[in-house]
Every structure is written in structure tokens, then in C-alpha cells.
Amino acid sequence: MGERIGVFDSGIGGLTVARHLLGLRGVEVLYVGDTARVPYGNRSPETIRRYARQVARYLVEQGIDVLVIACNTVSAVAAEEVRECAADIPVVDVLEPTVRVALRRTLGSVGIIGTRATITSGVYERLLHRWASMPLRTYGQSCPLFVPLVEEGWTEHPVTVQVAEHYLAPLRAAGVDTLILGCTHYPLLRPVLEQLLPGCTLVESGEAVCERLQQLGYQAAENGKKAPLTLYLTDVPDTALDSVLGQLRLPVVDVRHVRLPEYA
């Protein structure tokens, strides 16, 4: 297609979504990580909406053809504001695609883990019950320490396992059969989550978003060729970026420091 896909997250966790999009044919991926203000999950809704508008407008100015909100918090709190900024540019958030995949895979009991803002919004539960074709039980659990642990590179550290055991205990007791990873950092914790919830189906948003883009006409590249990736970060890169890039086995990318204009 020769098209630009704009992707953004509050930090670098959304690279777990971007890695799936790099497998699409004839695209260029532009990723904005608002690393100067990460995390969004503990911010007020008004602040999240303001940040989201700034990032969305910046990406639109880069001449993108589709915009992917690779942030569960923004998808839950500010998706409409992003769509207003994008005007006629298609916007794909992580919520609906992820919910659709979870509903295809669940046997009737779905857990959701995410930031406080995402879980407090209740958006996943509402969508799951709205679109379910079977009786469904849902359980939300906020996991605010997961993001800093991932960015520290402690994805399988004993401290991370201990924190995860605490967070996941109610979901294990509820017997969830499917778990939505409601934050784009969380796929990097997959080994720990699978260890603590054996037999549970994990659903991450990157796979679901890529499936949605294919429904919009994008096709998988041949021979495993990867699309070019440019990172725009609002703070200078730190060790967290190297850690995440290494864990995701992403190729060397063009990393740029950007100052977002103070839009109204």
C-alpha cells in the first residue's frame, strides 16, 4: 500500500502492538511514545484526553493514513477525542478488536488486567457483555506496578512473580479461562502470567489490532519482510527502550526525540 501507520502509546509498551504491524506489506510505521509523561494510567481523565489530543494531532501532521491507539488507557478514556483530531483518517483502538478475539476464545469466564484508569472505566466489561452471545462472567483487576517492572526489564524477576501472584490471586480463585492483557506492556510478562494461570488463554491487543487492519485491506508481507519503524519519543531514550526492543527482538529502528506542540 505504501501507507503510513501512526501508532501511539503513553510510553514504549505499545511496541508490542507495533511489532505485529511491521509484518504488513508496503507500510511504514511511525510510533509516538509519550515517555516524558508516562504512565497515563494514574492520570485524571481530563489530563489523559489533553495528552491524547496532542499526540494524535502530531501524528496527523506527519501524513499518516491510519491511526492506531496502542494504549488501553487512551482507548478507554479518550478514543472519541482522538477520532475528532483524526477527522477522516481511520482510527483503530485496542478495545473492540481485543474484545472480539476474547469472545471467540472464552468458555464463559473472562478476566481483564490493566491500569487503574482502564479497569476503573469498566469499558472492557461493558463491551464484553454487550457483544457476548453466551452467559458471561467478567473480572477486572488493576495492576499498576506491572508497567514500571516491565520498563525496568524485570519481566521474570522474583519480585515481579511475587507482585503478579498478588494481583492474579482473585482471578485464579474465580477460575477465569481467558485473560485480556488490558495494557500493551503486559505481553512482555506473558511467561509469568502463563506460569501463574496455567491453561488460561491470554489475549493481547497487538494480534487483534493487526487482524483489524487486515480487515481494512492491509496484507501480510511476503517472506517475513519487516516494515520500517520510526520512533518519536517525548523524552530522551533510556535503558527501558533498549530492554523492550531486545525483548521484542525488534530490528534497529530510527529513534527521534520530539517536542509535542502545545495544542489547545
DSSP state, 220? Answer: B
Question: How do residues 92-131 score in pLDDT, each as one tens digit?
Answer: 999 999 999 999 999 999 999 998 888 988 999 999 999 9
Beta strands in the chain (DSSP E): 3-9, 27-33, 66-69, 91-93, 109-114, 137-142, 178-182, 201-203, 229-233, 254-257
- Residue 245: per-residue pLDDT: 82
- pLDDT bin (cut points 50, 70, 90) of residue 236 is confident
- Residue 159: per-residue pLDDT: 97
Question: Which whole number is the average pLDDT over 26-32?
Answer: 95
Radius of gyration of the chain, Cα coordinates, nearest whole angstrom: 17
Q: Comparing C-alpha atoms, which of 3, 5, 34 is closest to residue 230?
A: 5
Range in 91-100, 152-161, 251-260 the model is least confident about: 251-260
- Residue 116: per-residue pLDDT: 86
Q: By percentage, how much of the chain surpasses pLDDT 90?
A: 73
Q: Which residues are catalytic?
A: 71, 183
* pLDDT at 263 > cutoff 70: no
- pLDDT bin (cut points 50, 70, 90) of residue 79 is very high
Element (H, E) at 213: helix 205-215
- pLDDT bin (cut points 50, 70, 90) of residue 2 is low
pLDDT averaged over the chain?
A: 92
Residue owning grid cell 509523561: 37
* pLDDT at 242 > cutoff 90: no
Are the beta carbons of 30 and 56 closer than 8 angstroms?
Answer: no
Long-range contacts of the stretch 194-201 (C-beta < 8 A, 24+):
195/161, 196/161, 196/164, 196/165, 196/168, 196/172, 197/168, 197/171, 197/172, 200/111, 200/176, 201/105, 201/106, 201/177
Q: What is the pTM of this model?
A: 0.90
Question: Which whole number is the average pLDDT over 42-62?
Answer: 93
* pLDDT at 10 > cutoff 80: yes
Q: Comparing C-alpha atoms, which of 211, 216, 221, 215 is closest to residue 27?
A: 221
Domains assigned to the chain: 3-93+208-257 (3.40.50.1860), 95-205 (3.40.50.1860)
